Amino acid sequence: MEMASRETVKRAEQLVERAMKGNDASHDSWHVWRVRDLSLSLAREEGLSSNPHSMEIVELAALLHDIGDYKYLRDPSEEKLVENFLEDEGIDESKKTKILSIIKGMGFKDELAGLGNPELSLEFGLVQDADRLDAIGAIGIARCFTFGGNRNRVLHDPAIKPRSDLSKEQYMKREEQTTVNHFHEKLLKLKDLMKTKAGQRRAEKRHKFMEEYLKEFYEEWDGRA
């Protein structure tokens, strides 16, 4: 990547720090740095490192993907932050369109509604896989309980069963749900939704770790462990 791009990356990092400052630790700037590192690592595994144009799209989309997230929206103007940033940086139109379409199509709720990214470009798959990898495994477990605690959610209630065949609307109404049910409603499904070979390989181990964790959790909950 040429020098100007590194400057853009630096300013994108600063925007992340500012925009996500008030978020809890499940969706803070550390989450974004991990997703950026994972995205670039997966991209190298998929043989993309010789394409600076694609690597730049992947890095910027990964850095900017959670700015203006509906779960943390404090002001409607935040939805325009990313678009304005790319505009101010003079990112060319085709690159800008690609970055914005990756960010727009990232969400699990959109996939539930059949609104995933229409092009399914490799860059899109890499960034979405990286974001989903950070939602599973050891870090995924820590983030899940952090988010649940922040929203004052019940840890586990055997009387509340996980919902199957969720619609986008039901998924977004999570108030009545427990933190442990979120594993069944979303996190355990992510392994099979990975878009790249590199993402699928990494998801296997993290998925297995979550399954073992839940098995232990239920045994301890029932006093069997």
Which domain CATH number covers 172? 1.10.3210.50
* 116 or 55, which is more confident: 55
The pLDDT value given to residue 59: 97
Question: Domain tally for the chain?
Answer: 1
The pLDDT value given to residue 1: 43
Question: 170 is in which domain, residue-wise?
Answer: 3-221
Compute the distance between CA of residue 58 and CA of residue 43 in angstroms, rounded to an integer.
Answer: 8
- Count the residues in the chain: 225
pLDDT tens-digit map of 77-109: 777 999 999 999 999 999 999 999 999 998 887
pLDDT tens-digit map of 145-168: 999 999 999 999 999 999 877 766
CA dihedral 14, 18, 19, 21 (to 10 degrees): 130
pLDDT at 124 over 90: yes
Q: What are the distances in angstroms from CA 177 to CA 45, 139, 159, 186, 189?
A: 37, 21, 11, 12, 17
